[in-house]
Amino acid sequence: MSTYEILEHYLTGDYQSVACPTEADYYALWHERGLDSMGPIDCALAGALLADRLPWVFTAGYQGTLRNAFPNLKPGGWAAFAATEDAHDPQAHPGTRLQDGPSGFLLSGCKSWVAHSRCVDQLIITINDEQGDKRKARGLVIDSKRRGISLTHREQPGFLGSLSQGFAKFDSTEVAVSEVFEFAPIRLFGRTEAKFVMLASAAFMLGRVPENHELRDRLIAVAGALISLITEQQTSRQVYAAIDREFQRCVDAFEACGATDTITDYAADRRLFRMYTNKIQRRGEYARNEAAGRADD
């Protein structure tokens, strides 16, 4: 199924929102509706149209991002990108390190944020460069149930609270040499996560706007623009900033039309729609200043 076919199917009555009170419910729906077998953009769109609350919108965009950036993920299930480390108490929770092992490497250390910690099937782990060079970071993909991995869970996350969020600890976990990769996929994840989550958010809003409301057309246009940005090798920063401004105007209109009244925990989770905009606008301003500097030379 092609990306725009997902939207076309929605407009003809498919991909209607399904009540999923728990993460396990949405995980089961993800499998039942065949999102495992879809491409990254398609699963982001379809998953968001099916979602009944914002944590599952994040899930749809996040899983799309991961499938797009890390092609070595196994088919099926959910993954989590575990990059965050404890900067406040690194002695108690040291960052991840690889050491030589009998048949490859041994992974030890901790990560302080793991999405879908109760449902995750695969983990994408970053290994930071000891000299602090971000572009020399490496990564690896492993099964979440591999020996030596312990996942624990936050009690009550304040944001996207229906989504399990936890911690990972690795104790001499065996890693094959072939499972380690260089920086490029990590960079791609960073470049595309916001675009995928915004795309999922646009689809979610589309699914809840009253029929014949002019906002529907605007959301479809924003979704198409975000899809184009995802496929770029280098982000057009000023264009991205303009698309984000229209996306934010769509969020304002969405909230004004009463579509949020029945969304569970909307007040606590609504910042999902806003959490990338400051960075996007800042980078757009950098690009404008760079262009003005070149024009003055």
pLDDT in tens, 51-100: 999 999 999 999 999 999 999 999 999 999 999 999 889 889 999 999 99
Task: DSSP letter for 23, please.
Answer: H
Nearest to 55 by CA among 154, 164, 151: 164
Q: Which residues are CB-neighbours of 206 under 8 A, at least 6 positions away?
A: 7, 10, 49, 216, 219, 220, 223
| Helical (H) or strand (E) element with 202 | helix 184-206
Q: Which residues are CB-neighbours of 196 under 8 A, at least 6 positions away?
A: 40, 41, 44, 61, 62, 64, 65, 68, 230
Q: What is the mean pLDDT of residues 24-46?
A: 97
Q: Is the pLDDT of residue 192 over 70?
A: yes
Task: Classify the C-alpha dihedral 149-153-154-158 as positive or negative.
Answer: positive
Integer Cα distance of 52 and 266 in angstroms: 11
pTM over 0.75: yes
- Structure tokens given for 52: 């009944």
Task: DSSP letter for 1, please.
Answer: -
Integer Cα distance of 8 and 17 in angstroms: 15
Integer Cα distance of 108 and 255 in angstroms: 45
pLDDT in tens, 196-233: 999 999 999 999 998 889 999 999 999 999 999 999 99
Task: Classify the C-alpha dihedral 2-270-189-122 as positive or negative.
Answer: negative
| Helical (H) or strand (E) element with 168 | strand 165-175
Q: What angle do CA 80, 21, 199 make, to 5 degrees?
A: 50
pLDDT tier at 180, thresholds 50, 70, 90: very high
